[in-house]
Amino acid sequence: MAHLSLRNVGKTYAGGTQAAVSGIDIEIADGEFIVLVGPSGCGKSTLLRMVAGLETTTEGEIHIGERLVNKLDPAERDIAMVFQNYALYPHMTVRDNMAYGLKNRGESKTTIAERVAEASRMLELGPYLDRKPRALSGGQRQRVAMGRAIVRQPAAFLFDEPLSNLDAKLRVSMRMEIRKLQKRLGTTSLYVTHDQLEAMTLADRLVVLNEGRVEQIGAPLEIYRKPASTFVASFIGAPAMSLLDARISDGAISLEGHALARVGNASGPVTLGLRAEDLRIAPQGIPLAVEHVEELGAQRIVHGTIGAQNIAVIEVGEAAIQDNVHVAVDPDKLHLFDTSTGRRLEVQSQPHQEMAL
């Protein structure tokens, strides 16, 4: 167990002109569960593989514990990795799959047997120890892959989208198991996923990546409540935050000519972010032309347009929804972003002059 630090880490592929990953600075505390999240091609897997030693690091320093590992072989880095397609050795039994890494590190037979027994008890793999991977289901294979990582008792676990090959139901239960197991073992973990829900539920801290750069680092709720940019805002949360072109003039935000709230920010165009759950259908407010309604059971998501701009509203009532409704918004729940850079702007509130909607 150890802390992990990435200092100004970057990678440019040989012959490539643009860096695949650049300027990554993350300090990971001992026992922390960090999730790297971002759309495909954002460099999250590359970054993880650089930590594992499967890709070379062309810039910066990676430390695992007190050791600089940039030049070390993957086997010397004291990490264990869980792959997306499990990467089990097809010709070895479950037991041998788990024991292989330990055998190569010269552990004694009794230690190996103990650790394999313990891991298989934890993961309920007991009955399958003498089977080959091909005789196991996807979920069981995933467990074996986890077991292979656990028995090693490494400084850090690296997970590369380990749940994407499982069906939706199994994914949810495995997600919880991974979280419980990690809490119990207290091993520092780095987890890559493109699924924002998985990221939100697993992470102690989230690292949102975009085009090889860190967009934001923070606790899941912090990122959800205060997205640092329009990219993060639209990526984290489902349905995605509605981002609308608005204007600030005379100390008030107006959207398509409708005044929303009074703010102290400088006048000019601004990108307004509204979460679907912060909006409600009300007798008065901004007129919304309803396009379609998604029924989710507990709630429904109303998609519509204000002027020509798309917006989603979560509605919990059961009444039939008219074609034209009005929506109201809590002025405290607005997100403002700079229209040109996409960075978050803190709302300068003017509490004494709140507008009724």
Whichever of 87 and 129 has its CB closer to other proteins, that residue is 87
Q: Is 101 in the site for other proteins (CB under 8 A)?
A: yes
Helix, strand, coil percentages for the chain (3-state, nearest 5): 30, 35, 35
Region near other proteins per CB under 8 A, out of 50-58, 222-230, 311-319, 333-341: 50-58
DSSP 106-132: T--HHHHHHHHHHHHHHTT-GGGTTS-
User: Among 35, 47, 88, 261, which residue sits at the site for other proteins (rule: CB under 8 A)?
Assistant: 88
Q: Is 79 in the site for other proteins (CB under 8 A)?
A: yes
The dihedral of CA 12, 13, 14, 16: what is its sign? negative
Cβ-based neighbours of 158, under 8 Å, separated by 6 or more? 48, 51, 52, 79, 80, 81, 82, 189, 190, 191
Nearest approach, Cβ of 195 to other proteins (angstroms)?
19
Burial of 108 from C-beta contacts in 10 A (0-12 / 13-18 / 19+): exposed
DSSP 8-class letter at 239: S
Nearest approach, Cβ of 94 to other proteins (angstroms)?
14
Q: Is 80 in the site for other proteins (CB under 8 A)?
A: yes
Q: Rounded distance, CA 166 to CA 153, Å?
A: 25
Nearest approach, Cβ of 19 to other proteins (angstroms)?
20
Whichever of 102 and 325 has its CB closer to other proteins, that residue is 102
Q: Is 52 in the site for other proteins (CB under 8 A)?
A: yes
First CA to last CA distance, the chain: 54
Contact 158, 80 (CB under 8 A): yes
Buried b (16+ CB within 10 A) or exposed e, 190-214: bbbbbbbebbbebbbbbbbbbbbbb
User: Among 1, 19, 87, 345, which residue sits at the site for other proteins (rule: CB under 8 A)?
Assistant: 87
User: Among 73, 250, 295, 318, which residue sits at the site for other proteins (rule: CB under 8 A)?
Assistant: 73
Nearest approach, Cβ of 111 to other proteins (angstroms)?
16
Q: Rounded distance, CA 123 to CA 164, Å?
A: 19
Region near other proteins per CB under 8 A, out of 32-40, 60-68, 99-107, 250-258: 99-107
User: Tokens in use for 292?
Assistant: 């379609």
Q: Is 71 in the site for other proteins (CB under 8 A)?
A: no
Q: Is 349 in the site for other proteins (CB under 8 A)?
A: no
Q: Is 134 in the site for other proteins (CB under 8 A)?
A: yes
User: Among 39, 63, 67, 100, which residue sits at the site for other proteins (rule: CB under 8 A)?
Assistant: 100
Nearest approach, Cβ of 115 to other proteins (angstroms)?
14
Picking from 91, 129, 128, the residue whose alpha carbon sits closest to that of residue 112 is: 129
Interface size with other proteins, residues (CB under 8 A): 24
Q: Is 34 in the site for other proteins (CB under 8 A)?
A: no
Residues that bind other proteins (CB under 8 A): 52-54, 73-76, 79-81, 83-91, 100-101, 104, 134, 148
